[in-house]
Structure 1
Amino acid sequence: MKNTIKLSVIFAFALSVISCKDNQKPNYQYFPNMYESVAYETYSESGAFKASYGLYGKEGQLPPKGAIKRGFMPYEYPNTPEALATVKAANLKSPLDSTQVDMKKGEELFNIYCAICHGTAGDGKGKLVKQEKFLGVPNYAERQINEGSVFHVITYGLNAMGSHANQLSQEERWKVAAYVMKLKGDLSK
């Protein structure tokens, strides 16, 4: 008897739920914006940021003036011959301490980006020089360079050498500069 009552209650509840559905009328939709969201074009200007002149702007999306990204160390020397001479005269040193200078990584980066012209030994006899694609690549033993001047030249480039600031982070450029000074010491022996 109890089972019959339970079954009849369940059947009555199921029947009442099913009978409420009407295919002619749309059902209620809770939070319709979740189902049918407004599509926005990627990288387009947003109406959330109003410009001072009445049109949509992007002032709210820009970083404040003078902001620098996290972990970035500003390099205060400009790309001028005078700045290079100043760096050489000041004997600028690496901000990395001895535990952060990884000569193995410096050698690896040097072989990827520099050895094609400067040679793996730093003697100025890389593959492109041997094929006479570039001439006048200096031998490190013959140059008056220091760690700061090497970093400056890697950052901005010099003569036919372009800048490697886009390919190498500041820390990697200092590692390459330390490795170049090691090569200079090896060539001077």
Structure 2
Amino acid sequence: MKLKSLSIDNFRCIEHITFDIEEVDGSHTYSLIGINESGKSSFLEAISLVDEGEVLFPLDFFEDKKPINVYLNYEIDENDLDSLKEDLLEKGFDQKIIDQIEIESLSVGVSFEPIPNIKRKVIDLIKFKKTVFSDFTAIDLKPAPKDPNQEQEDFDLQKYFESNMPDYFWKIAHHISFWKSESKYLINEPIDLEAPRHICSTF
């Protein structure tokens, strides 16, 4: 999966922001530069919520009537799609459905509702090119051909993922490592450059 952008809604001083991931001078390394209290730390902490962490209501909410949403927005390549189709085949999906599965867009992230003591909700927002398969219905948690002698509900791929594979892509998305400048990582004591040193050599 190729990360295309990051989206943050309603977190602290951030009402909404989308950060596009683009190559700059042959690199994908970025620096956040800004005056104090401009939102740099809020931006980074919001991204870290995708993997772990909780929020405080209403302190961490830009507006206390709206949820906090943080998403990693991806582009799906053929290898990702092939892996998904293999997993669905193992779950008993008919090849006729698998051959028609295409993903137009994918966002992976977390959401926090504006209520006290809310827990994080992991979300896969998948936009399939086709979601309803009228020749199939859901039986025992998987699609099966319809019985022509019965009136059965169409199989809905979107609903299937929401119920049975709600965090499929979240599990394989980027891992966020959030490092803070803390004293345990820093050298705070003076260094005596004249003190004897042990030199180890390996031959």
Bigger strand share: 2
TM-score (normalizing by structure 1):
0.22
TM-score, with length taken from structure 2: 0.20
Q: Larger helix proportion, structure 1 or 2?
A: 1
Which is greater in Rg? 1
